[in-house]
Amino acid sequence: MTTPRVLITGGLGFIGLEVAKLLVRRKYPVLLFDNLNPQIHGAIPDFCALQLLRSAQVEVFRGDVSKPSDWAAALDNVRAVVHLAAETGTAQSMYEISRYAETNVGGTAALLNYLANHKHVVCKIILASSRSVYGEGAYECSRCGLVYPPARSDETLRAAAWQPRCPTCWRPIDATATPEDARTAPASIYAATKLAQEDLVRVAASALGIPAVVFRLQNVYGEGQSLKNPYTGILSIFSNQLRMGKTIHLYEDGQETRDFVHVSDVARAVALGLASDGADGATLNVGSGKPTSVEQVALLLGERLGARTAPRVTGEYRLGDVRHGYADLTSIHTRLQFTPEVSLDEGLTRFVEWVQTQPVEPDRLDKATGELVARGLMPAHLPDDARADLTAKVQDHAHAKAASR
Ligand SMILES: NC(=O)c1ccc[n+]([C@@H]2O[C@H](COP(=O)([O-])OP(=O)(O)OC[C@H]3O[C@@H](n4cnc5c(N)ncnc54)[C@H](O)[C@@H]3O)[C@@H](O)[C@H]2O)c1
Ligand SMILES: [Zn+2]
């Protein structure tokens, strides 16, 4: 029998390929299980230039994780599963609910169902979950301490009251690093499917006695991220627009923050989770541990790609988006001695060098936002006077609530 392999679902995707490259360097045989989703790969996927696929250690299986028969074929002689295959667009998930549930929840259920009912040699499962399961995540209130504000309502967003307030005393609050034991509160269908994946894996893996690690990835960016997919990947979307000479439009006031982690750091975390038992049974954040505003990242990218115009704040917003979020990395550091190595500065330079070797993709963001507007998930822009009225109303409400505590 040949050496047991590591199965990487979504192995031809952005993170999957990076994980595969690292594992091949470390001499693992890998099997990439992917359905070559056209939203990510285009109608005619092209992997001709990819050296990795010429390696004798790499096999590819074209299949769909939501099909039980495909798992039966893929899991032959597999000792570890790195489960990455998923539909990943937060906003798109709000109206493609069945598709997201079938791939993300159904796909994970099909994996576990196979393991529960058939002979196999799988002795590790690694699941890529997402920081989105936290919803808004952790904030500090000067009066109440650590708080977890609920998802922002359409009314507050229409009033441009972007910053969440303390759910108890309604005072202004500041985002802080979110630890893994924070309350989970998915604000999108995508996030709900990621949390469901986590629960399925935790319960089944424990019952089956298979060590499992759940990684909650923050905003992953880097070389290889699909430039074709207008539904996710903020840096890919911005870089397409910059290369076409367009102005980047920022939602809200551009001061919303994300934790941008380079894909090579994510691959290292996955490899550590595979090689060590230090994270077995754990749920761990993977990120840079630092917040960066979307405006800042647009400016840094614009500097590198020669932006003709400064980014423009639109005041538009999408239901389901969170305001802030960055990871507390204490647990992953303790369990796997993991520290991110690639700074945003260096990671963006690497990303831009790669982008410049790629064809300029048509900007399909208008199509993606049009789909949201048509469904009321991204309200059309309000006239300034209507927004000013609403803003005053929300501020009065906040003052009245804070004063009453
Ligand atoms: N990129 C991020 O910022 C980020 C953040 C948090 C979590 N994650 C998670 O990491 C994982 C990988 O994300 P990514 O950024 O590499 O996405 P990606 O879209 O680049 O890759 C996903 C891959 O899965 C494949 N796929 C989709 N549906 C499939 C199906 N039904 N059967 C088989 N293959 C299928 C796609 O063809 C693609 O190659 C996902 O689970 C995602 O939820 C990503
Ligand atoms: Zn408070």
Please state whether 51 falls in left (phi above 0), alpha (psi between -120 and 50) or beta: alpha
As residues whose CB is below 5 A from the ion ligand 2, the structure lists: 141, 143-144, 166, 168-169
- Ligand 2 centroid to Cα of residue 222, in Å, is 38
- What are the residue boundaries of the structural domains of the chain, listed by start? 5-137+177-224+261-291+323-344
Q: Is 71 in the pocket of ligand 1 (CB under 6 A)?
A: no
Residues belonging to the chain: 405
The pLDDT of residue 204 is 98
The pLDDT of residue 160 is 93
End-to-end CA distance of the chain: 69
Sheet of strand 5-9, all strands in order from the earlier edge strand to the far edge: 58-62, 30-34, 5-9, 78-83, 125-130, 212-217, 283-286
Q: Which ligand is nearest to the CA of 126?
A: 1
Dihedral (Cα; 233, 237, 242, 243), 10-degree rounding: 100
Distance of CA 307 to the CA centre of its chain: 26
d(CA 158, CA 46): 43
Q: Is 149 in the pocket of ligand 1 (CB under 6 A)?
A: no
Q: Is 103 in the pocket of ligand 1 (CB under 6 A)?
A: yes
Cβ atoms < 10 Å from Cβ of 23: 24
Q: What token pair was written down for 173?
A: 């609050």
The pLDDT of residue 390 is 61
Q: What token pair was written down for 249?
A: 């439009």
d(CA 178, CA 180): 7
d(CA 229, CA 363): 9
- Ligand 1 centroid to Cα of residue 64, in Å, is 12
φ/ψ of residue 286, rounded to 5: -125, 120
Tell me which residue has its CA closest to atom 4 in ligand 1: 220
Q: Which ligand is nearest to the CA of 398?
A: 2
What would be the CATH architecture of the domain defined by 5-137+177-224+261-291+323-344? 3-Layer(aba) Sandwich (3.40)
- Ligand 2 centroid to Cα of residue 396, in Å, is 17
Residue 35 near residue 60 (C-beta atoms within 8 A): no
Buried-state track 210-222, b at ≥16 Cβ within 10 A, e below 16: bbbbbbbbbbbbb
d(CA 205, CA 405): 46
Residue 219 near residue 90 (C-beta atoms within 8 A): no
Q: Please report, for residues 20, 158, 325, the alpha-carbon distance to residue 16 in angstroms, rounded to integers and kept in the order given.
A: 6, 38, 24
The pLDDT of residue 278 is 97
Amino acid code (one letter) for 174? D
- Ligand 2 centroid to Cα of residue 290, in Å, is 24
Instruction: Print pLDDT tens along the chain (405 aa).
Output: 567 799 999 999 999 999 999 999 999 999 999 999 988 888 888 887 788 999 999 999 999 999 999 999 999 999 999 999 999 998 889 999 999 999 999 999 999 999 999 999 999 999 999 999 999 999 999 999 999 999 899 899 999 999 999 999 999 999 999 999 999 999 899 999 999 999 999 999 999 999 999 999 999 999 999 888 776 789 999 999 999 999 999 999 999 999 999 999 999 999 999 999 999 999 999 999 999 999 999 999 999 999 889 999 989 998 878 999 999 999 999 999 999 999 999 999 999 999 999 988 776 667 777 776 777 777 666 656 666 666 666 667 667 776 776
Q: Please report, for residues 100, 190, 236, 292, the alpha-carbon distance to residue 96 in angstroms, rounded to integers and kept in the order given.
A: 6, 10, 22, 29
Amino acid code (one letter) for 365? L
Nearest to 323 by CA among 223, 246, 397, 256: 256
Q: Is 93 in the pocket of ligand 1 (CB under 6 A)?
A: no
Q: What token pair was written down for 277?
A: 């038992």
Catalytic residue check, 190: yes
Q: Is 222 in the pocket of ligand 1 (CB under 6 A)?
A: no
Q: Is 261 in the pocket of ligand 1 (CB under 6 A)?
A: no
Q: Helix, strand, or coil here: 292?
A: strand
d(CA 30, CA 52): 11
Q: What residues contact residue 85 under an 8 Å CB cut-off, 6+ apart?
A: 9, 10, 13, 16, 33, 34, 35, 65, 103, 107
Residue 128 near residue 217 (C-beta atoms within 8 A): yes
Ligand 1 site-directed mutation target among 217, 225, 228, most atoms within 8 Å of CB: 217
Q: Is 130 in the pocket of ligand 1 (CB under 6 A)?
A: yes
Active-site residue, selected from the candidate residues 190, 231, 317, 326? 190
Ligand 1 site-directed mutation target among 15, 53, 263, most atoms within 8 Å of CB: 15
Ligand 1 site-directed mutation target among 75, 88, 104, 265, most atoms within 8 Å of CB: 88
